[in-house]
Amino acid sequence: MSSILTNNGAMVALQTLKGINANLAKTQDQISTGKDVNTAKDNAAIWAIAKTMETDVSSFKAIDQTLSIGQSTVGVARAATESVADLLGKVKTKIIAAQEAGTSAEDRAKIQTDIDAMKAEIGSIVGTAQFNGKNLLNGTTASPMEVTSSLDRAADGTVTAGKISVATADLRSAQLRSDAVTATDGGGAVNLGAALAFQGGAGAIALTSASANQNDLSAILAGDRIEMTVNGKSFGCVVEVGDTAAALVGKLNTEKSNAGVGGTLTEAGGQFSFDAGTGGGDFDVRMNVNRGGLGNLVSIDVTEPGGAALALRDIEGLMKVAVDAAASFGSSQGRIETQRDFIGKLTDAMKTGIGALVDADMEEASARLQALQVQQQLATQSLSIANQAPQALLSLFR
């Protein structure tokens, strides 16, 4: 049955043409953007996955910059500690030279001048070993430096930042005070001329002079080393957070016994006293308060034969501090470099994955475009023919 009101053929041809035009528009969009999934309406699930991965890629780029700064900071610290270790090796050579038989006092004084110059150079290196305002050697903080190294995404979607912890090293060589006393033991105790007054809260103590003709001593912090030398034999201890004067005396007496030093160190009211127990003989007492991992460096003095022997003992410990610090920084720097390399490879892999999800196959899109253009022309012709069909009814009324 023919109808002048309803043209079924034209409607079918029109729907076909609309479908072809929609596919043609989509294909043209794929070719112009290069993406098969460009918006959420194209494929919501794939778009969401790809968008999350794209934000992760951006985050990893920022992490790579953070790692780069951390790598440079640690690299500066490593180079500085290696230089310090080299200088300490030269100091050791000078100390050995000062111990050689027949070395005159004048020669030892010259050697000490060279050692003092190296001490100053070590202090300069430690003070200037900073990158981007961060110095890992000057003892400004005991906390490790945290370098953001990764973005960890759990199965439930929770995201946390992974970090590489870089231990700092205190290579300062500051001496807060050095008091020397020469006395004759008449059966009593010798006042060492220093009293300890503890400050609350931060674990710090202040060492102040008990004699009116001496200057106040600087604040002592946890980590500082108190060292005593009695008749050429040295011993000492490290100040820890929460230490009391009595606790420090206990530590010093223990170390004194281990060093084979006689006598007794006591504390009353925060004031140190030492009874040599020599029964009237003369004795020398020196009390040093040193700060930093290289604190004993400032005490090295080879102008006297006994001092040269003590210096050789101390220099071994100082070299170990510097070498251990350099090794630690080297290990951390290597770890950061490895992580940077991994982040670069991970970012490339994620970009490849994102491309596999959303990128259009351009060869396929090009072939599809040509096919759709032909279909569009044929569908247009078909619609034109269908629209002419009702005109045949006019012949029935002629």
Q: Is residue 386 part of a domain?
A: no
Residues 161 and 207 occupy one common structural domain: no
- State the pLDDT at residue 225: 67
Q: Is residue 18 part of a domain?
A: no
- Please state which of the ranges 1-15, 74-88, 173-187, 326-340 shows the lowest mean pLDDT: 173-187
Q: Could you tell me which of 208, 134, 224 has the C-alpha nearest to residue 172?
A: 224
Residues 361-381 have a mean pLDDT of 87
- pLDDT band at 277, cuts 50/70/90? low
- State the pLDDT at residue 292: 58
- pLDDT band at 1, cuts 50/70/90? low
Residues 245-263 have a mean pLDDT of 82
- Please state which of the ranges 57-61, 135-139, 391-395 shows the lowest mean pLDDT: 391-395
- Please state which of the ranges 129-143, 223-237, 351-365, 384-398 shows the lowest mean pLDDT: 223-237
Report which of residues 50 and 42 the model is more confident about.
Answer: 50
Residues 73 and 187 occupy one common structural domain: no
Q: Is residue 108 part of a domain?
A: yes
- State the pLDDT at residue 346: 94
- Please state which of the ranges 149-153, 287-291, 341-345 shows the lowest mean pLDDT: 287-291
Report which of residues 337 and 178 the model is more confident about.
Answer: 337
Residues 219-241 have a mean pLDDT of 67
Residues 135 and 208 occupy one common structural domain: no
- State the pLDDT at residue 241: 58
Report which of residues 379 and 176 the model is more confident about.
Answer: 379
- State the pLDDT at residue 392: 73
- pLDDT band at 236, cuts 50/70/90? confident
Residues 252 and 275 occupy one common structural domain: yes
Q: Is residue 121 part of a domain?
A: yes
Please enumerate in sequence order all residues whose Cβ is within 8 A of that of 34, keeping only pairs 6 or more positions apart, or say none. Answer: 359, 360, 362
pLDDT one-digit tens code per residue, 78-131? 999 999 999 999 999 998 888 887 788 888 899 999 999 998 999 899 889 999
Residues 336 and 225 occupy one common structural domain: no
Residue 260 predicted with pLDDT over 60: yes
Cα 333 from Cα 67, distance rounded (Å): 10
Residues 331 and 272 occupy one common structural domain: no
- pLDDT band at 184, cuts 50/70/90? very low
HSE-CB at 332 with a 13 A cutoff on CA atoms is 30
Residues 85 and 181 occupy one common structural domain: no
Q: Is residue 304 part of a domain?
A: no
Q: Is 4 helix (H, G, I), strand (E, B) or coil?
A: coil
Report which of residues 64 and 174 the model is more confident about.
Answer: 64
Residues 152 and 265 occupy one common structural domain: no
Q: How many domains does the chain have?
A: 2
Place of tokens 């820890």: 240
- State the pLDDT at residue 287: 63
Q: Which among 20-34, 70-84, 234-248, 257-271 has the top mean pLDDT?
A: 70-84
- State the pLDDT at residue 307: 74
Mean pLDDT, all residues of the chain:
78
Residues 364-369 have a mean pLDDT of 86
Q: Is residue 135 part of a domain?
A: yes
- pLDDT band at 192, cuts 50/70/90? very low
Residue 393 predicted with pLDDT over 90: no
Residues 196 and 126 occupy one common structural domain: no
Residues 64 and 112 occupy one common structural domain: yes
Cα 87 from Cα 92, distance rounded (Å): 9
Residues 20-37 have a mean pLDDT of 86
Rg (C-alpha) for the chain, rounded Å, is 41
Residues 188 and 285 occupy one common structural domain: yes
Q: Is residue 19 part of a domain?
A: no
Q: In this structure, are strands 282-291 and 159-166 parallel, antiparallel, or unpaired?
A: unpaired
Residues 175-200 have a mean pLDDT of 41
- Please state which of the ranges 44-58, 184-198, 342-356 shows the lowest mean pLDDT: 184-198
- State the pLDDT at residue 337: 95
Structural domain that includes position 127: 48-170+322-349
- pLDDT band at 269, cuts 50/70/90? low
Q: Is residue 284 part of a domain?
A: yes
Three-class secondary structure assignment of 298-337: HHCCCCCHHHHHHHHHHHHHHHHHHHHHHHHHHHHHHHHH
CATH number at residue 134: 1.20.1330.10
- State the pLDDT at residue 190: 42
- State the pLDDT at residue 330: 94
Q: Is 27 helix (H, G, I), strand (E, B) or coil?
A: helix
Residues 158 and 184 occupy one common structural domain: no
